[in-house]
Structure 1
């Protein structure tokens, strides 16, 4: 960054790492207090949670709060964004969401929790006493429907091998059935042709 600034703005001297860290922490605290004050005035809140993986295979979890204010305007706030380290067990995900809800004193305000259909996060959001009604993400469901309908999803290697073996078996059985049917038709045609020849030449057949 310093090299870039020296080329872009030669006379500008940028802040060092410690100054940037301090400013980010102060900005985070100010934003966090603003969110806490806003949510303290709201009685009904819906949550949404999602986990995804970066290009470097780092997993992150995001928790958002959605609510209507006194003017009936829909508001959405990111209340937690963390680097999720370790396995994605349902109890660990549930514990994370519970801790974030308790930090903001939202225990009695949560009405629903929207997640995708992953097995772990779905199981983590089933506690109605904590998170209210669980709702499946409509966009995720639509995405799965389109992928399954158009056969766009990636097949695992084992399943792919099983599908390949079954298709080869089907091909072999189909070729066998086709060969059998073709041999039957050829035999029938040969028998018909021989019978037609004998009928067309009755003298030769009688002489023989």
Structure 2
């Protein structure tokens, strides 16, 4: 059985973290107050992963419908090119096949000036995604998709200044059947590794924050 999980997290601050320094200059304090009075740019992120339950395989591409999931993602971005560090593609499957784990893909039309080297996941530290580089790309209106390491394959991590959850819900729901169970998960309520892998110990009574999507579920 395939267990497909779509984690979502909305209204995240796009700007860099403020300097944590109590000795700020008057100019810095004034700038902070001005920023507070203006709308704060935000973004959403979505983590797509899966478990092949009987085989105890973890990773989106381990699913029997792994290829179908990727094809459905493409439908949500049917009019956008996918650009990697090496080339531009009109197929997400082709782009992912040419992309290494830890590398980023840009979905959208303005990626010529992107420095993909600055977007690559930093495996040598706990920083992970370099927020400043990621922020610059998101501000152009493009989507950023990371090919992330999973236990037995890869997962996908999608960043967007738009809340595209309804579009993702719409393209994934048709895959639901007796062999493919789809869970929509609020990341803010699922903070531990035990929660992340809830399907291994409490599949039919998922923790608060994880909702199963059925063929007749209405968004």
With normalisation by structure 2, the TM-score equals: 0.21
Rg larger in structure: 1
Bigger share in helix: 1
With normalisation by structure 1, the TM-score equals: 0.22
